[in-house]
Each structure stands twice: as structure tokens, then as C-alpha cells.
């Protein structure tokens, strides 16, 4: 770990950039601008590839969904699936909070896209897990 590295707290949905390294502790600043101090063994460095994957939140593997969006057979209404497997192929390393954030971001992106297209009806498929996605 070095100053400037991005770290995440193990077993918590908190991450930030290292600003100070002490003998047994690390001080980092979160995205919200708050400073936190944790022991070194409570933090992990976020690898560049993981960070890039998280930035590309809307990556959908070709084998999971077709290029065309699905439509409800009865009404012709567009259908979008917000289950994490459909949004991010490799999601096992993500915390529940990160998964929920990705699902909410995807829902907002779809809603915005439908507004632009003046689509009055569409279906968002979601589920109830450890977090509540509405």
C-alpha cells in the first residue's frame, strides 16, 4: 500500500484514497471527503482492473443477454432485467452494497433512456435480496 492507492474496507461498503500511512494504521479519504483511520489488516487495495470494471457499470456479457432488448410478448413493452448476473458477469467479489448501487445506477440509466425515447411503458425486473431494490 502506498499513498494515492485506492482501498476498500473489508466487510464494509467504504472505500477511498490513502492520504497517510502510519506504522500500524492507514488514513484515507472517502469519496464524500470524510477521513477514516483503519488498521492495515482491515483494508484491501482496489486493483486497477477491478476499478475499471466498476467504472464500466453497464457491461453486459454477450452470453447473458442478446443484443436486442426483450419485449413482453403480449404487449410489446420493453423488458429490462436488473438482476446482478445480467449487469455484471463477475460479481462475486462485490459487496452487497456495491451490487445494489450498480443495480440502481442501471435502473436510472434505463429510465433516462426511456424518457429520451418518450417510451411511456417498460418493465424493470428486480428482486428482493439482502438489499431492497425498487
**Tens-place pLDDT, residues 103-121:** 888 888 888 888 888 888 8
Average pLDDT, integer, range 44-69: 54
- What does the mean pLDDT of the chain come to? 76
Quote the Cα angle for 50-53-56, to 5°: 155
pLDDT-derived band of residue 20, with 50, 70 and 90 as boundaries?
very high
Between residues 120 and 22, which one has the greater pLDDT?
A: 22
Q: How many CB atoms lie within 10 A of CB 63?
A: 7
pLDDT at 134 over 60: no
pLDDT at 88 over 90: no
DSSP 54-98: HHSTT---TTTS-SSPEE-TTT--EEEE--HHHH-S--TTS-HHH
pLDDT at 74 over 80: no
What was the pLDDT predicted at 73? 64
Q: Give yes or no for a contact between 40 and 28, defined as CB atoms under 8 angstroms apart.
A: no
Amino acid at each position: 500500500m502506498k499513498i494515492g492507492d485506492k482501498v476498500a474496507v473489508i466487510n464494509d461498503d467504504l472505500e477511498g484514497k490513502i492520504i497517510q500511512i502510519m506504522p500500524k494504521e492507514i488514513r484515507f479519504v472517502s469519496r464524500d471527503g470524510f477521513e477514516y483511520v483503519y488498521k492495515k489488516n482491515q483494508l484491501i487495495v482496489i486493483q486497477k482492473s477491478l476499478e475499471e470494471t466498476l467504472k464500466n457499470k453497464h457491461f453486459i456479457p454477450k452470453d447473458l443477454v442478446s443484443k436486442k432488448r426483450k419485449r413482453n410478448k403480449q404487449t410489446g413493452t420493453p423488458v429490462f432485467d436488473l438482476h446482478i448476473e445480467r449487469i455484471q458477469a463477475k460479481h462475486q467479489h462485490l459487496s452487497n452494497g456495491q451490487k445494489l448501487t450498480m443495480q440502481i445506477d442501471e435502473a436510472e440509466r434505463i429510465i433516462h433512456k426511456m424518457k429520451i425515447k418518450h417510451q411511456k411503458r417498460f418493465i424493470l425486473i428486480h428482486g428482493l435480496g439482502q438489499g431492497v431494490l425498487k
